[in-house]
Amino acid sequence: MKTFYWLVKREFWEHRGSFLWAPIITGGVMMAMTLMGLITSEVFRARGGVHVNGIDFNTVTSHMGPDALQTIGKALDIVILAPMMLIGIVMFLVVFFYCLGSLYDDRRDRSILFWKSLPISDRDTVLSKAFCATVLVPVIAIITSVVTGLLIMIMMAITASLHGANLWQMLWTLPHPFNITASMLSCIPLYVIWALPTVGWLMLCSAWARNKPFLWALIIPIGSGIFVSWFNLMGLFNLSDKWFWGNVVARSLLSVIPGGWVPGQLYGHGSLQIDHADDGDQVFATALAAAHNYAALITPEFLVGAVAGVAMIIGAIWFRRWRDDG
């Protein structure tokens, strides 16, 4: 365990820019854009001569029913969750290209000769890289997104307070940042299992390809999908190209997208489905429910994909052991 810990720490040191600073900079950009929007609204308000009288939101909320307060709380929760959308895109790119170069870069620069001279097994090396991709990076992204969302809400509250509108009591009572953080962190085991096909495939290509692993990682699944579609078009075989593209091609390339299992669970592929897809509150609550998310574990998409991902990671360990050429 001590060796594994230092291997993970080594990966963090070597990729601190993408693991840590990429989500932080993305959150900073979102805060800067929010600040620019607030300044722009103030400028237009001043030009239009619009004046905002002091509003006591404590008095306003005291006359609201529980449903109205719940709606406001969910709206503020969405403000906290909003940064995760952009940070999630950055996280997808970081994990994708990190896995793609994880076992190829040290062969390219010949540093693999140094690492193989140490008493470190290829199994521990590969697993530490998979751990960073599926656990370390998501944890950093989740914490950064929640902190960014909270800071954006504070910026909005400060702007409102300049006009006499007291939002502080509402911000401290209605949002649920700890529940949101706990819900997202509880989904990391699901993300680990869901991301295994893509992580395994990219690391397999990184360990196997003598050069240009990016092209191999794309050409093989996409080319296979094109052939299956052609066979289906010609009527040569009774193959479902839609199923192949969704469950083979997409799962091998896009499974590292955060929350990729949620749409299927909400709208028709999971065991817990909502009755009215247009009920925004119900969709929001269901998407964050840990019980609903973990119900996806019994679906074939999770089980078959996890087995395939584990098999490809084992293949990456084998290639790591024998392929040390540049």
- Total domains in the fold of the chain: 1
The amino acid at residue 27 is G
Distance CA 256, CA 195 (A): 5
Q: Please give the pLDDT value at position 322.
A: 78
Other residues' Cβ atoms within 10 Å of the Cβ of residue 104:
23
Identify whether the C-beta of residue 309 lies closer than 8 Å to the C-beta of residue 199. Answer: yes
Q: How far is CA 274 from CA 95, 180, 222, 258, 315, in A?
A: 31, 20, 33, 21, 39
For residue 232, the SS3 value is: helix
Identify whether the C-beta of residue 299 lies closer than 8 Å to the C-beta of residue 192. Answer: no
Q: Is residue 188 pLDDT above 60, yes or no?
A: yes
Which stretches within 254-299 are classed as H helix?
Answer: 262-267, 280-288, 290-294
Q: Please give the pLDDT value at position 73.
A: 67
| Mean local confidence (pLDDT), 1-9 | 89
Give 120-133 pLDDT, tens digit per residue: 888 999 999 999 99
Distance CA 158, CA 155 (A): 5
Give 71-109 pLDDT, tens digit per residue: 666 777 777 788 888 999 999 999 999 999 999 988 888
Q: Is residue 14 pLDDT above 90, yes or no?
A: yes
Closest CA to 297 of 274, 273, 270, 275: 270
Give 152-165 pLDDT, tens digit per residue: 888 887 887 776 66
- Of residues 271 and 146, more confidence is placed in 146
User: From the centroid of its chain, how far is CA 68?
Assistant: 31
Distance CA 283, CA 277 (A): 7
Distance CA 195, CA 216 (A): 19
Closest CA to 143 of 14, 256, 22, 23: 23
If pLDDT is split at 50, 70 and 90, which confidence band does 294 have? confident
Identify whether the C-beta of residue 34 lies closer than 8 Å to the C-beta of residue 152. Answer: yes
Q: Is residue 9 pLDDT above 60, yes or no?
A: yes
23 phi-psi bin (left φ>0, alpha ψ -120 to 50, beta other): alpha
For residue 267, the SS3 value is: helix
51 phi-psi bin (left φ>0, alpha ψ -120 to 50, beta other): beta
Distance CA 126, CA 8 (A): 10
Q: Please give the pLDDT value at position 272.
A: 40
* β partners of residue 56: 166
Provide the whole-model pTM: 0.83
Identify whether the C-beta of residue 209 lies closer than 8 Å to the C-beta of residue 104. Answer: yes
Give 246-264 pLDDT, tens digit per residue: 889 999 999 999 888 876 5
Alpha-carbon dihedral 145, 150, 153, 155, rounded to 10 degrees: -100
DSSP structure class, residue 254: S
Q: Which residues contact 82 (CB under 8 A, 6 or more apart)?
A: 30, 149, 152
Identify whether the C-beta of residue 89 lies closer than 8 Å to the C-beta of residue 29. Answer: no
Which helix H or strand E contains 55, and what residues bound it? strand 55-56
Domain that holds residue 96: 2-322
Q: Which residue has the tokens 């929001």?
A: 284
Distance CA 156, CA 94 (A): 30
% pLDDT > 70, the chain: 76
